[in-house]
């Protein structure tokens, strides 16, 4: 997988702005208590092992958004997890979510292509013995109107990458998330943690690799541990995204 370059044209910028206004699935009311989810995109081996171990040591579970087409290959965040890693994660109670089969850019794809990629990913999951994925994360955080509309029919929540909290009025078809990545990732996540606690909201965090010297898209084990401990100490309930979506299923406008 090559480094992503967003469509910087005027058309691309307008599309990203306008898609937030269409095919929405808004929440009618706030979650009612602070919740937090830890998600790992592309599931590098370090996330599937080190990241999972950190969560499990504290009785928590996370979400690994997997692309079956990347399994076992090398990428900018290191080697991606193998099918055996996903089986172990699922057996331990973690959620394996859909990230398309090939890490498709849903901002530049047709609705039919996006749906076919999601279906192919689910078929591969089934072949490995994994459950059908309930939630989806847009690769690169981007989507256009067609894929957003059609994927909403298949998944209970579609996660994007724009920062924010899941609370009253949030769009579950383009749910906000906060990255634990880069030099200031932990500090930024802590600020959002405080906002979520004060507003009884749901904070979805995301990262990629988890290692002492992470890629620009990953975090250190210490940062992940510190954020998890801070959330638990503040009274957050750690949920998978599928579990959070199920709880909020009756609170849609």
pLDDT digits (tens, 9 = 90+) for 80-126: 999 999 999 999 999 999 999 999 999 999 999 999 999 999 999 99
pLDDT score for 12? 74
Q: Are 188 and 154 in contact (CB under 8 A)?
A: no
Cβ contacts of 50 within 8 Å, gap of 6 or more: 210, 211, 221
Share of the chain above pLDDT 70, in %: 95
Q: pLDDT exceeding 90 applies to what percent of the chain?
A: 89
- Rounded mean pLDDT of 161-172? 97
CB 91 within 8 Å of CB 128: no
Give the Cα separation of 40 and 214 in Å (integer): 13
97, 130 contact by CB (below 8 A)? no
Over residues 152-159, the mean pLDDT reads 98
Measuring CA to CA, which residue among 68, 65, 126, 61 is closest to residue 94?
A: 61
Domain residue ranges in the chain: 24-247
Which pLDDT score, from 0 to 100, does residue 249 have?
Answer: 85
pLDDT at 37: 98
> What whole-number distance in Å separates Cα of residue 104 and Cα of residue 117?
8
Query: For the chain, how many residues are written?
Result: 253
CB atoms within 10 A of CB 76: 16
Q: Cα separation of 210 and 207, whole Å?
A: 8
- Residue-level pLDDT at 124: 98
Q: Residue 23, SS3?
A: coil
Q: Residue 23's pLDDT band (boundaries 50, 70, 90)? A: very high
- pLDDT value, residue 10: 73
Phi-psi label, residue 115: left if phi above 0, alpha if psi -120 to 50, beta otherwise:
alpha
Q: What is the mean pLDDT of residues 171-186?
A: 97
Q: What is the mean pLDDT of residues 36-49?
A: 97
| Mean pLDDT for the stretch of residues 178-195 | 97
pLDDT the model gives residue 11: 77
Q: How much is the average pLDDT of 42-69?
A: 98
Work out the pLDDT band at 3, boundaries 50, 70, 90. low
Residue 143 binned pLDDT confidence (cut-offs 50, 70, 90):
very high
What is the pLDDT of the chain when averaged over all its residues? 94
In the predicted model, is pLDDT for residue 1 greater than 60?
no
> Rounded to whole angstroms, what are the CA distances from 97 to 82, 182, 234?
15, 24, 27
Q: Options 3.40.190.10, 3.20.20.370, 3.30.365.10, 3.40.630.30; which CATH number does 24-247 get?
A: 3.20.20.370
Residue 27 pairs in a beta bridge with 252
- 3-state SS, residue 149: helix
Q: What is the pLDDT of residue 158?
A: 98
Q: Check if the beta carbon of residue 65 is closer than 8 Å to that of residue 42.
A: yes
Closest to 52 (Cα-Cα) out of 93, 103, 102, 107? 93
CB of 48 within 8 A of CB of 190? no
């Amino acid at each position: 997988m090559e480094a992503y370059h967003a469509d910087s044209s005027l058309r691309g910028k307008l599309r990203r702005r306008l898609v937030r206004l269409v095919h929405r699935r808004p929440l009618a009311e706030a979650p009612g208590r602070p919740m937090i989810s830890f998600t790992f995109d592309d599931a590098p081996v370090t996330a599937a092992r080190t990241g999972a171990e950190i969560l499990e040591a504290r009785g928590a579970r996370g979400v690994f958004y997997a692309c079956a087409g990347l399994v076992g290959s090398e990428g900018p965040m290191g080697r991606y997890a193998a099918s055996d890693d996903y089986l172990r994660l699922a057996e331990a109670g973690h959620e394996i979510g859909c990230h398309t089969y090939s890490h498709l850019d849903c901002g530049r794809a047709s609705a039919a292509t996006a749906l076919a990629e999601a279906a192919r990913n689910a078929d591969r999951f089934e072949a490995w013995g994994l459950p059908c994925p309930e939630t989806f994360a847009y690769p690169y955080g981007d989507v256009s109107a067609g894929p957003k509309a059609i994927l909403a029919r298949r998944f209970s929540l579609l996660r994007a990458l724009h920062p924010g909290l899941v609370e009253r009025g949030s769009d579950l078809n383009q749910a906000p998330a906060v990255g634990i990545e880069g030099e200031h990732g932990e500090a930024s996540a802590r600020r959002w943690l405080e906002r979520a606690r004060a507003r009884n909201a749901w904070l979805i965090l995301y990262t990629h690799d988890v290692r002492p010297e992470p890629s620009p898209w990953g975090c250190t084990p210490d940062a992940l541990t510190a954020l998890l401990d801070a959330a638990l100490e503040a009274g957050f309930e750690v949920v998978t995204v599928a579990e959070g979506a199920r709880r909020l299923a009756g609170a849609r406008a």
